[in-house]
Structure formats: structure tokens, C-alpha cells
Structure 1
């Protein structure tokens, strides 16, 4: 196994974990982590929650782009 395969495997684990958390949040929004919207509505600081979501979206985009450019997807 080379480093590229190890990185791809770890990325898929990250996708699975994040997807599981997202599924739990969609199933029970009251107990879930729609943090940025909840904090913004209550007038609390929400930028760290929003920025982490944007960073995760960016990381997902990089991952998909990498898969498409190396022919894996």
C-alpha cells in the first residue's frame, strides 16, 4: 500500500463518519448540530461553526477533484 492509497482510505473513512453525523442530524434536528443556524438565531457567536462547515465543504471539493483528476471517479 502506498501513501496515496492510505490517504484515499482515510478520506473515505472521514466521509463515512461525516455522513453518519449528517444522517443523525437530519433524523433529529433538535438534538443535532445545525450549530451555525441555531447560534445565529439566538444571537450568539456562530462564525467558528460556520467557518468549520465551509472548511469541510472545501475539503470535500478538493477530495472529489482529486478523485476526478486521477481517474478514480
Structure 2
């Protein structure tokens, strides 16, 4: 059986604000809609923590140090 947690419960466990958990869950699409409510399963929480630790890079080119390369950078 799947257990669901509210964003407030997850926020208190992670030491974050509820608004931050809601924003990150929406940003990384790591939540489950139950009726009209946003809820998080244990898998959603694990995915959210993984994304917080290692955020995905936006598309584009990166230099050897992991910084985005600017197209018109005269020093590149």
C-alpha cells in the first residue's frame, strides 16, 4: 500500500519551508495528485532529494569546469 505525505510533512522532515517543497516538487515534477491535492509518496520524496542534491543541467554547452559557455564571450 502506498503512503502519501503532505508537502508540510515533507518540509518538516527535510528542514525546509512548505513553500520551498511545493516549488521544488512542481519544478522537478516529483509529486502525485490525489484528487485536487498535491501529495508525495516515498518515491517522490527520494526523487526530490536526489534532484536537490544533483540538479539537472539546463541544455547548452559547458566548459571543462561545468560552467555554461556564453556565445559571445571574448575571453572564452
| TM class by smaller structure | under 0.3
**Higher RCO (Cα < 8 Å, 6 or more apart):** 2
Query: Could you tell me the TM-score, scaled by structure 1's length?
Result: 0.25
Larger Rg: 2
Query: Could you tell me the TM-score, scaled by structure 2's length?
Result: 0.24
Q: Indicate the structure with greater helix content.
A: 1
